[in-house]
């Protein structure tokens, strides 16, 4: 069994990214990202700080903008538009979830697609589906990167994606499909889910239900990618896979924590730097 821990991968890729940022700065391009946080959600605030710390580490200027919990959709979009129009800002992140009164779709449509670091603008999913990706949601890209690190074979294999969100499940299913896998997109309401997962060579799960995938749902030799993160009352994080019982049956599996999660912040800024190098005609 291969435990796909991401620590070493993140360490190596971070060093490479830091070099690329330094080269941009040397040539007069100072990358800057803005994070918009609305309200006082503790988990969102903590994750924003993690991204700021990582940006600092690799040399990307960053700013955290905190808006009141009672901000309206119109007020949020007006604030967002300031950074859409600010030429010194090349990347914008919107911390989710937004307060209930803010319409997510309106916000997603309002962000400048070229500055959209989390690929929430629907055009990005459309471009991915048409095989012309503009920016890929960071969590699916992280999952694919880790699978490729352990030489996962997709062509001709059966994959089940459990979870159908537009920022994780659907794009990850499409990425595996484009690699040649036969993909079934399932979710928490799928009937006879265990029959589907037992037939799979690759199982990816992102439903936010702790220990949702159990040993009886996995065939020996499968690759299992756990993208779920749920915090219990003691602040301990749990994945969607019952790791203790499932891991011994697998060919490869990601733990939670220490698997997909740490790669996500890396991919946020890697894609930002990829785009900056492209528009500034930098050869890597």
pLDDT in tens, 159-172: 999 999 999 999 99
229 labelled ligand-binding: yes
pLDDT band per the 50, 70, 90 thresholds, residue 53: very high
pLDDT band per the 50, 70, 90 thresholds, residue 234: confident
pLDDT in tens, 187-216: 888 999 999 999 999 999 999 999 999 999
Over range 100-111, report the average pLDDT: 98
Decide if pLDDT at 238 tops 60: yes
Q: What is the dihedral of CA 263, 267, 270, 276, to 10 degrees?
A: -170
Decide if pLDDT at 283 tops 70: no
pLDDT band per the 50, 70, 90 thresholds, residue 281: confident
Q: List own/partner pairs for 73-79 with CB under 8 A and 24 or more apart.
A: 73/101, 73/102, 73/103, 73/106, 73/107, 76/36, 76/38, 76/102, 76/107, 77/106, 77/107, 77/110, 79/36
Decide if pLDDT at 43 tops 90: no
CATH fold of the domain at 28-112: Rossmann fold (3.40.50)
Average pLDDT of the chain is 96
Specify the pLDDT at position 133: 95
Decide if pLDDT at 284 tops 70: no
Between CA 45 and CA 55 the distance in angstroms is 15
165 labelled ligand-binding: yes
pLDDT in tens, 24-38: 999 999 999 999 999
284 labelled ligand-binding: no
Helices (H), the chain: 7-26, 42-58, 73-84, 104-110, 122-129, 138-149, 169-178, 193-198, 243-246, 261-279
Over range 174-196, report the average pLDDT: 96
Specify the pLDDT at position 232: 86
Decide if pLDDT at 107 tops 60: yes
Specify the pLDDT at position 194: 97
pLDDT band per the 50, 70, 90 thresholds, residue 129: very high
pLDDT band per the 50, 70, 90 thresholds, residue 253: very high
Residues of the chain with CATH 3.40.50.720: 138-261
6 labelled ligand-binding: no
Residues of the chain with CATH 3.40.50.10860: 28-112
CATH fold of the domain at 138-261: Rossmann fold (3.40.50)
By C-alpha distance, which of 244, 171, 256 is closest to 214? 244
């Amino acid at each position: 069994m291969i435990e796909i821990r991401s620590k070493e991968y993140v360490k190596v890729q971070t060093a490479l990214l830091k070099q690329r940022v330094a080269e941009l700065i040397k040539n007069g391009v100072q990358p800057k990202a803005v994070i918009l946080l609305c309200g006082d959600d503790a988990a969102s605030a903590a994750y924003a700080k993690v991204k700021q710390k990582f940006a600092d580490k690799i040399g990307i200027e960053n700013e955290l903008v905190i808006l009141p919990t009672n901000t309206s959709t119109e007020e949020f979009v007006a604030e967002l538009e300031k950074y859409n129009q600010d030429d010194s800002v090349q990347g914008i992140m919107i911390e989710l979830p937004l307060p209930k009164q803010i319409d997510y779709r309106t916000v997603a449509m309002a962000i400048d697609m070229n500055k959209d670091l989390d690929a929430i603008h629907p055009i990005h999913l459309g471009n991915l589906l048409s095989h012309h990706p503009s920016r890929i949601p960071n969590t699916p890209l992280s999952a694919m990167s880790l699978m490729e690190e352990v030489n996962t074979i997709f062509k001709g294999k059966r994959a089940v994606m459990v979870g159908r969100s537009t920022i994780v499940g659907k794009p990850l299913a499409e990425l595996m499909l484009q690699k040649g896998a036969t993909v079934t997109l399932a979710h928490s309401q799928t009937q006879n889910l265990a029959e589907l997962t037992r037939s799979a060579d690759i199982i990816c799960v992102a439903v936010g239900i702790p220990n949702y995938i159990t040993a009886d749902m996995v065939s020996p030799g499968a690759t299992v990618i756990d993208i779920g993160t749920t915090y219990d009352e003691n602040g301990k994080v749990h994945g969607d896979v019952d790791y203790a019982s499932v891991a011994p049956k697998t060919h490869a599996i990601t733990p939670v924590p220490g698997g997909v999660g740490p790669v996500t912040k890396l991919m946020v800024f890697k894609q930002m730097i990829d785009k900056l190098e492209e528009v500034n005609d930098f050869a890597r």
